[in-house]
Structure formats: C-alpha cells, structure tokens
Amino acid sequence: MVVVAGALCDGGRLLAARRSAPAELAGRWELPGGKLEPGESPEEALVRELREELGVETETVERIPGEWPLKPGYVLRVWTARLLSGAPEPLEDHDELRWLARHELDSVDWLDQDRPAVAEAALRLTAA
Ligand code: CDP
C-alpha cells in the first residue's frame, strides 16, 4: 500500500503539518498526505488529500526519488507540490500548520520516516 505525501512549497517555504491523531503520532510533524484510494494515481491521491486536509488546490511538480517504509505493508512516497489557490488550514488530521524556510526546517519534530524527504525537498526550495 502506498501512502503519498506532499512537500508543498510556496515563496521559498515548505509546509509542515502537526498531526492530531493517532495518539502515537500526535504532536509530530509531517508532510501532509494519505493513502491511495482504488483507481487513483498517486498524483491524484495527493491532490485530493491536500484538498481534504488543507482546503487548497495544488498540483504535483516532481517525485522525490526513493520510498520509505511505514508500518508493515505500507510505503511512503513524496512529491513536491505547488499551491494553486487557497490558504492551507488544518481541516483534518492536523492541529497546526507552519510554513518553514530552509533554515527553519529543523525547528519542528518531523516523523522519522519523513525526514529524508524533507531534506530532499529543502534542496529544491527556491529562494524567496
Ligand atoms: O488520510 P489517510 O487515512 O488516508 O492516511 P493517514 O492516516 O494520513 O496516513 C496513513 C499512514 O501514513 C499513517 O500511519 C501515517 O503515520 C503515515 N504517514 C507518514 O508516515 N508520513 C506522512 N507524511 C504521511 C502519512
């Protein structure tokens, strides 16, 4: 099973989202996303998840190479994404959002499995 997550970049900053559930992940920060639904491409799933969770319209830009294991049977794949319209709000799954500049990326406690992709996304952040 594939879980897709988005490195949403805008104005040289990356969006970090703090999970509100489940208890073992609550308070940790992640790249927002979720599981594919049947028949969806990963890119379609990511655009849907970012709409549901954040209330924004986005487009995927490029896949960050690699995949990272989650619980047994699940892997995380990450795409960079661009904001098309709206301002992200923590509608679902998160209780706080932060736009982080490259030098601020270490200021939040990322989920371990998200860290390699965050580091790769940082290299792709264009200067604001
Ligand atoms: O929203 P949906 O129920 O489809 O998925 P989710 O609960 O947001 O994510 C599914 C699983 O992927 C959870 O176990 C998350 O911890 C994990 N995940 C992750 O490790 N890193 C992310 N950036 C996004 C999800």
Q: Give the Cα separation of 92 and 113 in Å (integer).
A: 21
What is the average pLDDT across 66-87?
A: 97
HEC readout, the chain: CEEEEEEEEECCEEEEEEECCCCCCCCCEECCEEECCCCCCHHHHHHHHHHHHHCCEEEEEEEEEEEEECCCCCEEEEEEEEEEECCCCCCCCEEEEEEEEHHHHHHCCECHHHHHHHHHHHHHCCCC
The response to whether residue 35 sits with its C-beta less than 6 Å from ligand 1 reads: yes
> How much is the pLDDT for 126?
72
% of the chain exceeding 90 in pLDDT = 98
Residue nearest to atom 7 of ligand 1 (CA): 34
pLDDT digits (tens, 9 = 90+) for 5-39: 999 999 999 999 999 999 999 999 999 999 999 99
- pLDDT confidence band for 70 (50 / 70 / 90): very high
The answer to whether the predicted template modeling score (pTM) of the entire model surpasses 0.90 is yes
Report the mean per-residue pLDDT for the chain.
96
The response to whether residue 76 sits with its C-beta less than 6 Å from ligand 1 reads: yes
The response to whether residue 6 sits with its C-beta less than 6 Å from ligand 1 reads: no
> How much is the pLDDT for 85?
98
pLDDT digits (tens, 9 = 90+) for 100-112: 999 999 999 999 9
> How much is the pLDDT for 84?
97
Q: Give the Cα separation of 111 and 115 in Å (integer).
A: 7
Probe ligand 1: pick from 1, 2, 3, max atoms within 8 Å of CB? 3
> How much is the pLDDT for 128?
41
Whether 119 shows a pLDDT value over 80: the answer reads yes
Task: Return the residue matching tokens 């995380």.
Answer: 76
